[in-house]
């Protein structure tokens, strides 16, 4: 065999070996070329939990929508009642509290409206029927009578609102709803402390007891 032929055979073998080495280097560990491991298709919930029952996920989504609608209605009522307090109360602390209600609940409402739109919740036109009845009742009062009725209503409403917001902060499925509920609960907690102090100052009965005795 000639030296030239041997040289060609060696070059050909080297080229084949190089191609083989490159092919192995480009193959991911575990073989299979560019194919991905076969994974079973798993349904995912809106929160990305593949184990969540679709019916439960739908119920939680409806609960989020209900909370957002109720929060918007309640906020609208607090704004109108706060405006009423500034007009009809003869007490400076009640007027200041009413002003804070307008400012804080307007801000909370502005934060909640984009979330409502995201969830497909139609923005309510105003307070609920129950709150409209309360507004009408307070519009007929003035002076100390108004203050007493307004303070009692605010203590009651803020206790319920605080419970609702805390519950939503724990159970909400949508992360935006959860965050809004957490922030709202902090604001409402401050409001409750303020109105309870005002109730004590005015010696207004709350929950069937005089505020001065219940705050001790």
Question: What is the C-alpha to C-alpha distance for residues 175 and 15, in angstroms, rounded to an integer?
Answer: 58
Q: Please provide the average confidence, as pLDDT, over all residues in the chain.
A: 81
Question: What is the C-alpha to C-alpha distance for residues 80 and 106, in angstroms, rounded to an integer?
Answer: 10
Domain ranges of the chain: 56-214
Residue, of 181 and 31, whose pLDDT is higher: 181
CATH classification of 56-214 is 1.10.3720.10, yes or no?
no
pLDDT surpasses 80 at 159: yes
Beta carbons of 24 and 16 less than 8 angstroms apart: no
Q: Which residues contact 196 (CB under 8 A, 6 or more apart)?
A: 155, 206, 211, 215
pLDDT surpasses 50 at 91: yes
The DSSP output letter for 147 is H
Question: What is the C-alpha to C-alpha distance for residues 78 and 86, in angstroms, rounded to an integer?
Answer: 12
Beta carbons of 101 and 78 less than 8 angstroms apart: yes
pLDDT single digits (tens) 189-211: 999 999 999 999 999 998 765 54
């Amino acid at each position: 065999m000639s030296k030239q032929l041997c040289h060609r055979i060696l070059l050909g073998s080297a080229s084949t070996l190089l191609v083989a080495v490159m092919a192995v280097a480009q193959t991911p560990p575990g073989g299979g070329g560019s194919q991905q491991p076969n994974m079973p298709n798993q349904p995912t919930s809106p929160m990305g939990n593949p184990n969540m029952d679709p019916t439960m996920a739908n119920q939680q989504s409806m609960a989020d929508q209900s909370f957002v609608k109720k929060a918007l209605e309640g906020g609208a009522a607090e704004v109108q009642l706060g405006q009423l307090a500034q007009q009809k109360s003869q007490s400076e602390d009640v007027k200041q509290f009413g002003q804070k209600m307008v400012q804080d609940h307007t801000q909370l409402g502005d934060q909640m409206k984009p979330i409502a739109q995201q969830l497909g919740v139609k923005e309510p036109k105003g307070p609920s029927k129950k709150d409209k009845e309360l507004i009408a009742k307070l519009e007929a009062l003035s002076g100390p009578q108004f203050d007493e009725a307004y303070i009692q209503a605010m203590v009651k409403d803020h206790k319920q609102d605080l419970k609702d917001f805390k519950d939503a902060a724990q159970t909400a499925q949508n992360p935006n709803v959860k965050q809004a509920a957490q922030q709202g609960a902090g604001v409402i907690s401050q409001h409750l402390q303020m109105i309870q102090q005002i109730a004590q100052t005015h010696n207004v009965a709350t929950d069937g007891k005089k505020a001065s005795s219940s705050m001790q």
